[in-house]
Amino acid sequence: MAVIETTLRDEDARGAGIGTSGWRDYLDLMKPRVMSLVVFTGVAGLVASPVELHPLLAAIVILAIAAGAGAAGALNMWFDADIDAGMRRTRTRPIPAGRVARSEALSLGLIVSALSVILLLLAGGILAAVLLAFTIVFYALIYTMWLKRSNDQNIVIGGLAGALPPAIAWAATGAPMTLEPWVLVAIIFVWTPPHFWALCLYQATDYARVGVPMLPNTAGPGAARQQILLYSLALVPLGVTPALLGTGGVAYAAVSVLGGALFLLLVVRVWRSRAGDVPDGDGSIYDAAGAARPARDLFAYSILYLALLFAALIAEHAFGLHVPLGWSV
């Protein structure tokens, strides 16, 4: 039998590109902070479901959802490399910084997307897998490639992708898709516009420079502050709804009422401020000067607010602290 020896030489990789990138750069491509939020809200959907999943299967379901979100993030960085290079907040990302080639981000995004959906199909069933595939396609195609560059409602509609993880996790348990998981989705969906527009109010110059239409630029800061108020007036009662449905208990009710009241206070402060009317700060995500500080405070608190809501839900269900309100509907 003939033995065929093949030696791959460096020259054979002409045009493939080479660098010194390491695992950290590829992890950065997958937006680990977004992944951690997805894990958090996904775990909430998992523990709030009436059907209990084997702990190892539950961990694998969360891993698959996180990997899917990360893959969508890599596809976003592949497509948006030009925008990222022009914004102070994103210019140190792996592609604009030159640490990872665009083609590598595309490959990583496509391969991990496929593997995460396959894994969720095996571990969580067809509905969960279809929802995850929809989330990835919606984020990469609808939001990244279309809405983000063309419509100032980009983050409103695109926010659906980030909102779905609790429903995906709930579906993976095999429980019927009743109102409860969709309320959790609605909370994240309605939370996204005030969260992002608060950031845009003090980073508007960056978005304008790269031509991304954000509401504070297209409709003006005043309109953006008003929209933040309107969305927040819908968000806070929605945040309390899981307690009324019995998904959340007494602790959740307390956190959602008190946390929501503080959220509204900060929103009114932004609404009455001149945030967005003056030039931006020096570019750091939490740096804001003078009139923009209320917007910065709201942006920072909005993250804490959502984290507290879902942490309360997880704590109640995971540690046996779930005491439903007596008059839950």
Partner 1 sequence: MPEVRNDEVEAWEPPTEAERAARRRRNVAIALSIAGFMLIVFLVTVLRLGEYSLARPF
171 vs 10: CA distance, rounded Å: 48
Find the distance separating the first CA and the last CA of the chain, reported in whole Å: 76
- Kindly state the smallest distance separating residue 81's Cβ from partner 1, in Å: 12
Q: Which stretch binds partner 1 (CB under 8 A): 92-100, 245-253, 281-289, 298-306?
A: 92-100
Site for partner 1 in 52-91 (CB under 8 A): 54, 56-57, 60, 63
Q: Could you tell me the smallest distance in angstroms from the CB atom of residue 18 to partner 1?
A: 5
**Distance of closest approach, residue 126 Cβ to partner 1, in angstroms:** 5
Contact 245, 328 (CB under 8 A): yes
CB count in 10 Å sphere of residue 9: 7
Q: How far is the CB of 314 from partner 1 (least distance, A)?
A: 23
Considering the complex, what minimum distance in angstroms separates the CB of residue 197 from partner 1? 33
Is 11 or 282 the residue whose CB approaches partner 1 more closely? 11
Size of the site for partner 1 (CB under 8 A): 31
The owner of tokens 């460096």 is 10
For helices 165-172 and 154-163, the axis angle rounded to 10 degrees is 20
Report the site for partner 1 in 109-128 (rule: CB under 8 A): 115, 119, 121-123, 125-126
Contact stretch for partner 1 (CB under 8 A) within 21-29, 44-52, 194-202, 240-248: 21-29
* CA dihedral sign, ordered 225, 155, 37, 249: positive
What is the DSSP code string of 92-153? TSTTTTTSS-HHHHHHHHHHHHHHHHHHHHHHH-HHHHHHHHHHHHIIIIIIIIIIHHH-TT
**Residue that is written with structure tokens 């932004």 in the block:** 270
Q: Where does this chain touch partner 1 (CB under 8 A) — which range of 19-27, 224-232, 253-261, 312-320?
A: 19-27
C-beta of 173 vs 192, nearer to partner 1: 173
Q: Does residue 12 touch partner 1 according to CB under 8 A? A: no
Note whether 307 and 233 are within 8 A (CB): no
**249 vs 267: CA distance, rounded Å:** 26
d(CA 286, CA 269): 17
* Farthest CA pair distance, the chain: 83
Per CB under 8 A, 97 contacts partner 1 = yes
Which of 30, 39, 74, 100: binder of partner 1 (CB under 8 A)?
100
Query: Considering the rule CB under 8 A, would residue 11 count as an interface residue with partner 1?
Result: yes
The residues binding partner 1 (CB under 8 A) are 10-11, 13-23, 54, 56-57, 60, 63, 97-101, 103, 115, 119, 121-123, 125-126
